[in-house]
Amino acid sequence: MKNIYHIVFLAFIAVCTACSSTQSLQEYYVDSAENPNFLSIDVPTSILNLEKADLTEKQREALESLQKLNILAFKKTGKNLDAYQVEKTKVKAILKNKEFNELMRMNTPYGKATVKYLGDTGAIDEVIVYGDNKEKGFLLVRVLGNDMNPANMMQLLEAIQKSDYKGEGFGQLEDLFKG
């Protein structure tokens, strides 16, 4: 009986969310930032320590097009299973909005991920990465910028790999999903 109640409750929330899916991704971030189930991190691009790195012109252009990363992580526990399903349903409803263009889907050892973007393919303003792990929770990352070029972004990833950046600033996130 308890399982039926949970299924009906989740279905009701899903229908309500789908019907009133006017919440933007930005609003979702703001609303979730104070929720104790979430870890919210805003990361400026300066944390990447690339100012002094030997970058090519394309890599520098890509770096200048980036503004910041917004990270929102929900850690799934035995006590918040219903909340996890509700929040996961909300995020998926928001990301179904036609303004988001799908770039790729991935199955990784860590879970499933979807990469979407806002803007034109040659001038992206926002990249959204949604990753979901059935056991650990989900992660929602917004990469904000101005006229980001996907080809230049690959150059930037190469530059980050060559830099002395060691993942500083992401310790909380790593701790959240450990164990």
* Ordered strands of the 137-148 beta sheet: 38-44, 66-75, 137-148, 123-133, 111-120, 101-108
pLDDT at 67: 84
Q: What is the DSSP string of 55-122?
A: --HHHHHHHHHEEEEEEEEEE--TT-HHHHHHHHHHHHHHHTSTTSEEEEEEEETTEEEEEEEEEETT
CB 150 within 8 A of CB 141: no
Residue partners of 145: CB distance under 8 A and separation at least 6: 65, 66, 67, 124, 125, 126, 127
Residue 39 corresponds to which tokens in the numbers above? 């870890």
CB 29 within 8 A of CB 87: no
Q: What angle do CA 44, 161, 149 make, to 5 degrees?
A: 60
pLDDT at 93: 94
Mind listing the pLDDT tens digit of every residue in the chain (179 residues)?
544 434 444 444 444 444 444 689 999 999 999 999 999 988 887 777 777 777 788 878 888 888 888 999 999 999 999 999 999 999 999 999 999 999 889 888 888 999 898 888 778 888 899 999 989 999 999 988 888 877 776 677 676 666 666 555 555 555 555 54
Please state, in angstroms and rounded to a whole number, the distance separating the CA atoms of residues 172 and 175.
5
CB 132 within 8 A of CB 88: yes
pLDDT at 21: 45
Residue 138's SS3 state is strand
